[in-house]
């Protein structure tokens, strides 16, 4: 018989049991459920709501159940619906009527709200740690490539010369923001809902603050209706994780492009590549492609959560059972992608010569020539037009700007002197961009030092 079956005259159909059950996916929250129940039982005893000896027996037995589950000695039942009822059913089987006192002053509504918050909190901490490891890999790769000149792009067209270190540290900034977003999400997740009851609290004199402190929450929810029906924290986390995956996908896209024969900027390590079943020459960037592809799964979880919650009246509705699979899927996907991407990135081989050669083409120093003329007193818009004509001449004559003779330079402006060759060298173009956030070696090293401090202090 169901633990809630008192008012029912017949059993639920088996197909309804299967449809209604969530144990196949919420069983992963068994530890959070038991720890929450242990603390609830401890509080019930301390507040004199149940006898102290009953409280202690419940706590002891729950600890034993936790150990048995950890050791694979417990089989969950679909008929018991979810992890909460499974644990309570096992408890009652072991200690009889005393076990029935555990649910005093509590509803499954605030119990599941507690469990999922506890679960999400631990996952946020783990994902943040993974992002830090990725950040450290980016920093190390950046420090090794402070002098590796490459083209920067806009519209996927060669634009201006930068360094690989500068390019990589742009991604560090993205993942740094991801870490900060996760921490902010953690603050709103770290609020304890137990004591909200089904929707209207309880008449028992519960000590909610004691439970919150014991379980490591900063505070308690301030409205019982909101306490059981709020899933903003899960939606917010799913949003944060979607942004993480967007960043990983962008990075993956560049790794895929750069490892192609057309770019040949990098080569993927054999351990993080695959071959073709028919074409023996192929070396495919499947890790990066899968990360890019799995991004859609995390986006899907966010949309699913928003759609589930979009029209639910207060307070709890069974629809909200659908929150778990969506947030679990997002968490699992991100935790799968970050470590393998990190290892893939750490093992790439950089083709410095090809990056430099690419930067030498595409007139990436054209802006610097315009700036050169501005420093000679020519208005920027006039300088822009002069260099545009110069580029067109070079295209028509199959030349790089660096290849022009002084006679050819003088056709476009009498202000151009012999020092032009030094001024438009790629090394000079990069090194002179010394503003904070710029690509000069000095600026990028400062950015790397700041990144190291962020990782170390957090």
CA distance 143 to 139: 6
- Give catalytic status of residue 238 as yes or no: no
Contact by Cβ (8 Å): 306, 235: yes
Residue 354 to residues 267, 318, 331, 357, Cα–Cα distance (Å): 11, 58, 38, 5
Q: Are strands 219-220 and 191-192 parallel, antiparallel or unpaired?
A: parallel
Residue 47 phi, psi (nearest 5): -85, 0
Residue 168 to residues 115, 175, 259, 424, Cα–Cα distance (Å): 38, 11, 15, 24
Residues 6+ apart with CB under 8 A from 321: 22
Contact by Cβ (8 Å): 147, 441: yes
> Which is catalytic among the residues 67, 129, 276, 410?
276
Is residue 222 classed as helix, strand or coil in its secondary structure? coil
Residues 6+ apart with CB under 8 A from 228: 107, 109, 110, 113, 193, 196, 197, 198, 199, 315, 316
> Which is catalytic among the residues 155, 277, 414, 457?
155
- Give catalytic status of residue 103 as yes or no: no
Closest CA to 102 of 47, 40, 56: 40
Contact by Cβ (8 Å): 157, 438: no
CA distance 18 to 97: 28
What sign does the CA torsion over 192, 194, 195, 201 have? Answer: positive
Neighbours of 278 (CB within 10 A): 6
CA distance 188 to 218: 10
Rg for the chain, CA atoms, rounded = 31
Residues listed for the chain: 458
Neighbours of 220 (CB within 10 A): 17
Q: Which residues are catalytic?
A: 155, 276
């Amino acid at each position: 018989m169901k633990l809630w079956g008192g008012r029912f005259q017949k059993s639920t159909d088996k197909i309804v049991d299967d449809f209604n059950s969530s144990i196949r996916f919420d069983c992963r929250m068994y530890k959070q459920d038991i720890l929450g129940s242990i603390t609830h039982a401890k509080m019930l005893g301390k507040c004199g709501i149940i006898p102290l000896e009953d409280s202690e027996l419940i706590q002891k037995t729950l600890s034993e159940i936790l150990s048995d589950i950890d050791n694979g000695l417990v089989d969950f039942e679909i008929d018991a619906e979810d992890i909460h009822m499974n644990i309570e059913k096992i408890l009652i089987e072991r200690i009889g009527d005393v076990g029935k006192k555990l649910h005093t002053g509590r509803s499954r509504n605030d119990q599941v709200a507690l469990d999922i918050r506890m679960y999400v909190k631990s996952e946020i901490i783990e994902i943040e740690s993974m992002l830090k490891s990725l950040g450290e890999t980016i920093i190390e790769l950046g420090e090794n490539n402070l002098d590796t000149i490459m083209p920067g792009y806009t519209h996927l067209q060669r634009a201006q010369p930068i360094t690989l270190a500068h390019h990589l540290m742009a991604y560090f900034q993205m993942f740094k923001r991801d870490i900060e977003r996760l921490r902010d999400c953690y603050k709103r997740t770290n609020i304890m809902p137990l004591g909200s009851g089904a929707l209207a609290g309880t008449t028992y004199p519960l000590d909610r603050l004691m439970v919150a402190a014991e379980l490591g929450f900063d505070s308690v929810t301030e409205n019982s209706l909101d306490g059981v029906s709020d899933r903003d924290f899960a939606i917010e986390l799913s949003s944060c994780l979607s942004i993480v995956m967007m960043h990983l996908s962008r990075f993956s896209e560049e790794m895929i492009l750069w490892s192609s024969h057309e770019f040949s900027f990098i080569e993927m390590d054999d351990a993080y590549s695959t071959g073709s079943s028919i074409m023996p020459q192929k070396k495919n960037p499947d890790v990066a492609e899968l990360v890019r592809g799995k991004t859609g799964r995390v986006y899907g979880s966010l949309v699913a959560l928003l759609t589930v919650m979009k029209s639910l009246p207060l307070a709890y509705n069974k629809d909200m059972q659908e929150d778990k699979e969506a947030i679990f899927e997002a968490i699992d996907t991100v935790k799968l992608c970050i470590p393998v991407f990190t290892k893939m990135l750490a093992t790439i081989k950089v083709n410095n010569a090809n990056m430099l050669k690419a930067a030498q083409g595409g007139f990436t120093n054209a802006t610097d020539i315009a700036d050169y003329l501005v420093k000679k007193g020519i208005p920027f818009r006039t300088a822009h037009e002069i260099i545009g004509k110069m580029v067109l001449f070079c295209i028509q004559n199959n030349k790089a700007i660096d290849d022009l003779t002084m006679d050819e330079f003088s056709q476009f402006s009498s202000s151009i002197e012999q020092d032009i060759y030094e001024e438009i060298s790629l090394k000079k173009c990069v090194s002179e961009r010394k503003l904070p956030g710029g690509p000069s070696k000095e600026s990028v090293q400062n950015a790397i030092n700041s990144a190291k401090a962020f990782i170390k202090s957090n």
